[in-house]
């Protein structure tokens, strides 16, 4: 199956922070892959803008080097690489100063789609929005793309929303959560709303509980200062896991359009109960073969920041009353794996007798690695010897199902950056969604601070603190393996 490429309108894309890690490792390689796929029109260019005093040629060399590392197969095509680099330009610019904006303006074309990607530290988001407006760079076709973190708490998120809203309409603001650009996440909506099979069972009558795991094997090297102020709750739970929960729990939107989808997600967040303290486990990794312990890594021997959090959430509405959602995420865990497990209830009565054991269906949606969906079903164990039951997976790995040209599934940023150019906000967070997520998160963090809560240590390379197992065990349940 060959994927369809829908060309986009001519555009100018300015990447503030174009020399930084995210731009070089993710955004520019994503744009290059889309270029190679033929999605770019002739009239399109990228302008890097950052503090470094590069000439355009020196910047192109830096970009070429990054593309060789992060889009290796495409960059082996020297013609494609050179043609792409001709579309790349650079302006040295300090977001905190009013000089150089005229030079940037001179490189832009009035009637094209114009996108400004804020790939700089969050303290600069407001400044950039103000200066774009002040220097008259915002046209009706202008969009701004705002990276995470979007605020540190409800108050700062509200303040940032207010600054952005002074200069841009909500329809021009693209708040990125790159999880929403992952193929499997979009597939989750296709599976739920494109099939008759699942939706009738998608409720508390048939679903026992839901598990969402985002496990990382890496630590926090290179981001120590930011992470120690944020922790797993702010860095992962408030945004990525919350978004996954929304897509699993939301009602079918009337259509696949930005506000219809985001209205339904917002209703889920607003229906979340406050989380009881005994339904949360925080952890902090100890030293292990893969490196130093958390406190040594951040250089703060008394840090009480969590690198792991597991919790039990409840969506209080008709569909989900009584069905818990167990969410967990952490660093330095045994494996890198993001998976959603929808755990169906046992069959109400076993006609095969007590010896047949208990069997329940599990729908596993794997985000990484090996994106795909598995449905565990119960069948008869082959062979004579009575009616013995066994669970087997109906496995659909997307790479296998879609053919060899999809072995290298598109990176989330490919989809998201092109959606910005197309003007499609469906996979971006709306301001009220972000605020609602903080409104749910803030009391949890405030509770830890008020109680002087200290995270439980866990071994690097393990599945996390033992208390997270207890969280499930108390409810008569257990986590599925981190990599099922
Ligand atoms: P980085 O430190 O590697 O790069 C920052 C960039 O901003 C550099 O190009 C730098 O020159 C530029 N910059 C700094 N101060 C500036 C100023 N005053 N004026 C103009 N440019 C300035 O950071 P990064 O890792 O690329 O992260 C960028 C943003 O993306 C951050 O908000 C971060 O939270 C977010 N983000 C990064 C990642 C990642 O994997 N790196 C993932 C998710 C979100």
Helix (H) or strand (E) holding 241: none
Catalytic residue among 70, 167, 178, 240: 240
The yes-or-no answer on residue 359 being catalytic is no
Contact between 455 and 283 under an 8 Å Cβ cutoff? The reply is: yes
Mutate to test the pocket of ligand 1, among 22, 146, 220 (most ligand atoms within 8 A of CB): 22
Least confident of 101-110, 241-250, 369-378, 420-429: 369-378
pLDDT range class, residue 356, cuts 50, 70, 90? confident
How much of the chain exceeds pLDDT 90, in percent? 83
Residue 370 clears pLDDT 60, i.e. is over it: yes
Q: Is the CB of 177 under 6 A from ligand 1?
A: no
pLDDT mean across residues, the chain: 93
Predicted confidence (pLDDT) per residue in 288-347, tens digit = 887 899 999 999 999 999 999 999 999 999 999 999 999 999 999 999 999 999 999 998
List the beta bridge partners of residue 310: 281, 328
Predicted confidence (pLDDT) per residue in 102-156, tens digit = 999 999 999 999 999 999 999 999 999 999 999 999 999 999 999 999 999 999 9
pLDDT range class, residue 481, cuts 50, 70, 90? confident
Which two three-digit tokens encode residue 450?
């008020």
pLDDT for the residue 395? 80
Q: Is the CB of 24 under 6 A from ligand 1?
A: no
Cα(118) to centroid of ligand 1, in Å? 8
Q: What is the mean pLDDT of residues 187-216?
A: 95
Residue 483 clears pLDDT 60, i.e. is over it: no
Cα 96 from Cα 82, distance rounded (Å) = 33
The owner of tokens 């070429």 is 64
Q: What is the mean pLDDT of residues 68-97?
A: 96
Which two three-digit tokens encode residue 458?
């866990």
Q: What is the mean pLDDT of residues 208-229?
A: 95
pLDDT range class, residue 359, cuts 50, 70, 90? confident
Q: What is the mean pLDDT of residues 464-484?
A: 90
- Antiparallel, parallel or unpaired: β 88-92 and 44-50: parallel
Q: Is the CB of 409 under 6 A from ligand 1?
A: no
pLDDT range class, residue 195, cuts 50, 70, 90? very high
Q: Whose CA is nearest to atom 10 of ligand 1?
A: 17
Cα(252) to centroid of ligand 1, in Å? 36
Mutate to test the pocket of ligand 1, among 95, 121, 151 (most ligand atoms within 8 A of CB): 121
Ligand 1 atom closest to Cα of residue 149: 34
pLDDT for the residue 387? 81
Q: Is the CB of 462 under 6 A from ligand 1?
A: no
Q: Whose CA is nearest to atom 6 of ligand 1?
A: 17
Question: To the nearest 10°, the Cα dihedral for 294, 298, 300, 301?
Answer: 30
Cα 24 from Cα 90, distance rounded (Å) = 14
Ligand 1 atom closest to Cα of residue 26: 40
Q: Which of 462, 22, 429 is nearest to 263 (CA)?
A: 429
Q: What is the mean pLDDT of residues 186-212?
A: 95
Predicted confidence (pLDDT) per residue in 398-453, tens digit = 666 666 445 567 889 999 999 999 999 999 999 999 999 999 999 999 999 999 99
Q: What is the mean pLDDT of residues 455-484?
A: 91
Residue 393 clears pLDDT 70, i.e. is over it: yes
| Interacting residues of 341 by C-beta distance below 8 A, sequence separation 6+ | 210, 211, 212, 213, 362, 363, 364, 365, 480, 484
Q: Please report which residue ranges of 100-182 form alpha helices under DSSP H.
A: 101-106, 125-134, 154-167
pLDDT for the residue 192? 94
pLDDT for the residue 3? 62
How much of the chain exceeds pLDDT 70, in percent? 96
pLDDT for the residue 369? 85
- Interaxial angle between packed helices 56-70 and 28-36, expressed in degrees from 0 to 180 and rounded to the nearest 10: 80
Q: Is the CB of 442 under 6 A from ligand 1?
A: no
Q: Is the CB of 127 under 6 A from ligand 1?
A: no
């Amino acid at each position: 199956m060959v994927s369809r490429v829908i060309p986009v309108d001519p555009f100018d894309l300015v990447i503030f922070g174009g020399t930084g890690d995210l731009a070089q490792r993710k955004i520019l390689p994503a744009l290059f892959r889309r270029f190679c796929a033929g999605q770019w029109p002739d009239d399109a260019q990228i302008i890097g803008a950052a503090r470094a005093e590069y000439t355009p040629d020196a910047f192109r060399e830096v970009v070429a080097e990054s593309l060789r590392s992060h889009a290796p197969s495409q960059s082996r095509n020297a013609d494609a690489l050179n043609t792409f680099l001709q579309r790349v330009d650079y302006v040295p610019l300090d977001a905190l100063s009013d000089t150089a904006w005229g030079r940037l303006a001179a490189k832009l074309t009035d009637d094209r789609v114009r996108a400004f990607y804020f790939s700089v530290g969050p303290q600069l988001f407001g400044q950039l929005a103000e200066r774009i407006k002040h220097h008259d760079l915002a046209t009706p076709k202008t969009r701004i793309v705002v990276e995470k973190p979007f605020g540190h708490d409800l108050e700062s998120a509200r303040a940032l929303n207010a600054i952005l809203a002074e200069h841009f309409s909500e329809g021009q603001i693209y708040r990125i959560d790159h999880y929403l650009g992952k193929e499997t996440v979009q597939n989750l909506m296709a599976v739920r709303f494109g099939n008759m099979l699942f939706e009738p069972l998608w409720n508390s009558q048939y679903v026992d509980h839901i598990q969402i795991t985002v496990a990382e094997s890496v630590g926090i090297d290179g981001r120590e200062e930011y992470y120690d102020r944020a922790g797993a709750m702010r860095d992962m739970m408030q945004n990525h896991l919350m978004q996954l929960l929304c897509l699993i729990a939301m009602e079918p939107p009337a259509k696949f359009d930005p506000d219809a989808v985001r209205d339904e997600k917002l209703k889920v967040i607003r229906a979340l109960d406050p989380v009881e303290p005994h339904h949360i486990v925080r952890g902090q990794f100890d030293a292990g073969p893969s490196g130093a312990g958390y406190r040594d890594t951040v250089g703060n021997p008394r840090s009480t920041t969590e690198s792991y959090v597991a919790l039990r959430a409840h969506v209080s509405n008709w569909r989900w009353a009584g069905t818990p959602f167990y969410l967990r995420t952490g660093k330095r865990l045994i494996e890198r794996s993001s998976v959603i497990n929808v755990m169906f209830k046992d069959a109400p009565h076993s006609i095969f007798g007590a010896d047949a054991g208990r069997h329940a269906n599990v729908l596993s949606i794997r985000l990484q690695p090996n994106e795909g969906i598995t449905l565990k079903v119960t069948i008869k164990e082959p062979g004579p010897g009575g009616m013995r039951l066994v669970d087997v997976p109906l496995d659909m790995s997307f790479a296998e199902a879609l053919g060899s040209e999809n072995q290298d599934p598109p990176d989330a940023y490919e989809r998201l950056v092109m959606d910005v150019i197309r003007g499609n906000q469906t996979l971006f967070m709306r301001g009220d969604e972000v605020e609602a997520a903080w409104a749910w998160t803030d009391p949890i963090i405030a509770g830890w601070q008020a109680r002087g809560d200290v995270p439980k240590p866990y071994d690097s390379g393990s599945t996390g603190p033992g208390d997270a197992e207890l969280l499930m065990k108390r409810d008569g349940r257990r986590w599925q393996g981190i990599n099922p």
